[in-house]
Amino acid sequence: DDVGKGGYDHYMLKEIREQPTALRQCLRGRIDELDGTVALEDIADLDHSGPVQFVACGTSYHAALFGAERLRAAGVSAQAFLASEYTRERVPVDSDTLVVGVTQSGETADTLRALRAADGAGATTLAVTNTVASSAARECDHALYIRAGPEIGVAATKTFASQQLALALLAFELGGEATRAELEAIRDVPGHVQTVLETTTATEIAEAYVDADAYFFVGRGYHYPVALEGALKMKEITYKHAEGFAAGELKHGPLALVSENTPVFAVVTGDDEAARKTIGNVKEVEARDAPVVAITDGVSDVARYADHVLEIPAVDDLGASVLANVQLQLVAYRVANQLGRSIDKPRHLAKSVTVE
Ligand code: G6P
């Protein structure tokens, strides 16, 4: 077991630190920088121009939310659904629809069931998965591999980052040409993740807040799934109460939970309207005495209102959401480690859930 951990105390930390390599593998041979094009050989015969629906569970659902937003930004009609709710929601699906199952293992029962239902309704199906020859890969019409390498820790880390980049590539494939600047930005993500791993102050933040009553996470746009994922990671491995919210929803209820013992992690990058609005939410939280941890690139003045800052390099908002998530993975890991939790095998959880 210890040999597999390569000198780390836990697979989770090893896998967090493997992310630059995993992301380079995900991108390898898929971006032609001379031509300025994306070429996904795995799905070379997928020709689709209609609406796209994502189905997924857990961390993969957060990647799906990110992917759907990314596709919409590329002009494609796209929505993300929880796989366990998909068939109940009577989502309109027909032969013009592409249904994308995002599943690291390719074996999650709810996701397979949703994909089978979509197939039965005549949709084209695509598995975005880490596992060659998994049920999802075999059963779907097409498969796009995220190439993260094996992930042993129950809490998904590197596979989430790889899903984010694979779905960003898929958005270029389905939504039309990428600009040279967009391609360069994607290509540079692995290097920026390395910088985050080398400069993070996550241990300090974890020490400051290890005894907190609960942890809240907020973000907008691409940072909303990051807030959800930050909270899920915290719950899974620390067993403490954590919740992620769309920053705009804070005032519709969650603010009632905020106190000096509930740190609020706010993802704020750039200095656009979304950033300014989230800073407004941060001020509301601060006025109620909750500690604020800003995950920021320093472009806006959010640090003025924060008790702590987790810095990330200034990049576009797609890259920023990958980098911000890495910081939150590290905070969850450090808190869980200080609490002495069973990080790689959290109580009650399984790596792959094969029952509905
Ligand atoms: C389990 C794992 C999660 C994972 C989810 C979906 O609950 O503990 O980490 O996100 O299944 O798994 P999948 O293999 O479909 O991505």
Indicate the top mutation candidate among 160, 347, 352 to test ligand 1's pocket, ranked by most ligand atoms within 8 A of CB: 352
Q: Is the CB of 349 under 6 A from ligand 1?
A: yes
Q: Which residues pair with 215 in a beta bridge?
A: 242
Q: For residues 284 and 251, is the Cβ–Cβ distance under 8 A?
A: yes
Distance, CA of 20 to chain centre? 15
Measured in Å, how far apart are the chain's first and last C-alpha atoms? 30
CA-CA-CA-CA torsion sign (199, 234, 237, 147): negative
Cα(290)–Cα(278) distance, integer angstroms: 15
Does residue 353's CB lie within 6 angstroms of at least one atom of ligand 1? yes
Summarize pLDDT for 245-285 with one digit per residue, the tens.
999 999 999 999 999 999 999 999 999 999 999 999 999 99
Q: Residue 117: name the closest of 94, 143, 144 by CA.
A: 94
CB-based contact 351:105 (threshold 8 Å): yes
Q: What is the CA radius of gyration of the chain?
A: 19
The proportion of the chain whose per-residue pLDDT surpasses 90, expressed as a percent, equals 92
pLDDT digits (tens, 9 = 90+) for 22-66: 999 999 999 987 777 899 999 999 999 999 999 999 999 999 999
Among 66, 84, 353, name the best residue to mutate to test ligand 1's pocket (greatest count of ligand atoms within 8 A of Cβ). Answer: 353
ipTM of the prediction: 0.97
Residue 294 corresponds to which tokens in the numbers above?
Answer: 């800003």
Instruction: List phi, psi (to 5°) of 198.
Output: -85, -20
pLDDT at 3 (0 to 100): 73
Alpha carbons 302 and 197: distance in angstroms, whole number: 22
The alpha-helical segments, DSSP class H, found in the chain are 11-17, 19-27, 58-73, 83-86, 109-120, 135-139, 158-175, 180-199, 202-209, 223-238, 273-286, 317-338
Percentage of the chain beyond pLDDT 70 is: 100
* 343 Cβ inside 6 Å of ligand 1: no
* Consecutive H or E run containing 215: strand 214-219
Show Cβ contacts of residue 261 under 8 Å, excluding neighbours closer than 6 positions: 211, 212, 213, 214
Residue 260's Cβ-count burial label (10 Å; 0-12, 13-18, 19+) is exposed
Predicted TM-score (pTM) of this structure: 0.97
pLDDT tops 80 at residue 151: yes
Tokens (6 digits) for 206:
């974890």
pLDDT tens per residue, range 198-234: 999 999 999 999 999 999 999 999 999 999 999 999 9
